[in-house]
Copies of this chain bind each other. A is one copy, B any other.
Amino acid sequence: MKIELASSYGFCFGVKRAINIAQKYENSATMGPLIHNEDEINRLKKDFNVGLYSNLSDVKPEDTVIIRTHGIPKDELKELKKTTKKVINATCPFVTTPQNIVKNMSKEGYSIVIFGDINHPEVKGVMSYATDIEDVHIILCKEDLKNLKFKKSKIACVAQTTKKKETYLEIVNELILKNKEVRVFNTICDATFENQDAARDISIKADVMIVIGGKSSSNTKQLHSICLENCKDSYLIENEQDLEISWFKDKKFCGITAGASTPDWVIQKVINKIEGFKL
């Protein structure tokens, strides 16, 4: 069986940057998981003693606290800065962009549409920057637009950085047909685009696809959904322990891709294990 990696996969700019920051600040702690990958977070704890806070109330004034790549809500950041002066911002710059857009567009009198998961930390952070939170609408598909009531006739749209571009266009098209002005910001990050395009290309050729990434990682789930469109035997795994030998029986071409928070060392372990299978 041939094993091939997608032409673009894994760590994006923002994740690489955040890990570099965390490695620089030994003995610090992150506010929420730095990235959506438990294995890498465990490595940072083991090798650099980077801890993890889930609650703002646990932070102590002497702590150095790193903001996660996904960002945090505006008020939490303010609160955090009151507790400790040592706040290091590892928010991905591509996430800071939609935060600023929402802030400015909301001020300029636009109703805000965010294409994203309401429970995702990035979206919680982005929406918090609106001046009128009641006129921010978080949706997952064009059908969600049906019962929305906008306060303004002008709409500004942003997307969670890791969402699927096709669905974003569907939403935007529906908005354009029904509103006089729609200001569309393409905030889906290029790395996401590239990984998505490469996943599409390789999954067309593969008869089994392995998508490696955290179970809560939005961009990994998108990659899995794209692979499933082209290759029904597409599996989402966190690491090599999730692999099952039966998936590869009688297969000729195994494609591999990985989410933006998946470190290379995890990917390598997966490849080693598949290569070791006696099929």
Q: Name A residues whose Cβ lies closer than 8 Å to a Cβ of B.
A: 165, 168-169, 172-173, 176-177, 179-186
**Closest beta carbon of chain B to A98's beta carbon, Å:** 11
Residue of B nearest to A97 (CB): B180
Contact A180 B186 (CB under 8 A): yes
Known pairs A169-B176, A177-B165; A184 contacts B186 (CB<8 A): no
Q: Give complex CA distance A185, B182 in Å.
A: 6
Contact A180 B185 (CB under 8 A): yes
**Interchain Cβ contacts under 8 Å between A and B, 20 examples:** A165-B177, A168-B176, A169-B173, A169-B177, A172-B172, A172-B176, A172-B184, A173-B173, A176-B184, A179-B186, A180-B185, A180-B186, A181-B184, A181-B185, A181-B186, A182-B183, A182-B184, A182-B186, A183-B183, A183-B184
B residues in contact with A165, CB < 8 Å = 177
B residues in contact with A184, CB < 8 Å = 172, 176, 181-184
B residues in contact with A183, CB < 8 Å = 181-184
B residues in contact with A185, CB < 8 Å = 180-181
B residues in contact with A180, CB < 8 Å = 185-186
5 shortest interchain CB distances as A-B pairs:
A182-B184, A183-B183, A169-B173, A176-B184, A181-B185
Q: Give complex CA distance A246, B185 in Å.
A: 54
Residue of B nearest to A193 (CB): B177
**Closest beta carbon of chain B to A140's beta carbon, Å:** 18
- Having A172-B184, A181-B186, A182-B183, one finds 4 other A-B pairs with CB under 8 Å, namely A169-B177, A172-B172, A176-B184, A183-B184
